[in-house]
Chain A
């Protein structure tokens, strides 16, 4: 049973870069043809997809965030990562990592989420 766990700073200052890592346990990123995604949820608001990365390295981004987002996969540590640059208070949210089997497919496995606050 694969499990995902987000990790990273809970507080980021504007306009620095937010960096989060999702550790995959119970399965290998490099041996499975999955997509690995990031979704965020501002306090009291709805879900927003940030982007997804295929195990082979292809990336897909939300157009509204594309200029600030970088996704990567590290098969040696079985982790994938999110970097969001030039953050503002509007980027304050719970950030989730999740797994799906294709871009048109549902996110069937989610991490528990981590709250990131952007504040000086």
Chain B
């Protein structure tokens, strides 16, 4: 079965740029979606189809996808960005990455 690999945790200084990776075999050929999940809340999509932002997502969030790695980039990180982030693809079934806990220092 298809597997997605994410770092368990990422730390970023307030106002700096955070990058969260999502690795998978030839993931660049698939549509990748990213979710933000704050404690006790349901996930919310922040990037869909690799690099598209819902209207509610700040422009500070961006996504890229190429080769074996998709990346979520959060510019000018804020305290409110602290959350778990999950990538997701479809490969004969829906697959989620293991999730990355983002800490804003």
Size bracket, chain B contacts: 20 to 34
Given known contacts A106-B48, A106-B49, A46 and B86 CB-to-CB distance under 8 angstroms: yes
Q: How many A-B contacts if CB must be within 8 Å?
A: 60
Size bracket, chain A contacts: 20 to 34
Given known contacts A47-B86, A105-B31, A110 and B42 CB-to-CB distance under 8 angstroms: yes
Please name the residue on chain B nearest to A113 by beta carbon. Answer: B42
Given known contacts A105-B31, A110-B44, A46 and B99 CB-to-CB distance under 8 angstroms: yes
0/1 string, B83-96, CB within 8 A of A gives 1: 00010101001111
Q: Are A103 and B90 in contact (CB under 8 A)?
A: yes
- Residue A58 at the B interface, CB < 8 A? no
Q: Are A108 and B48 in contact (CB under 8 A)?
A: yes
Q: Which of B1, B44, B96 lies in contact with A46, CB distance below 8 A?
A: B96
Nearest first, the 10 A-B pairs at minimum CB distance are A106-B33, A49-B94, A106-B48, A104-B90, A110-B42, A47-B96, A46-B99, A106-B45, A46-B98, A103-B90
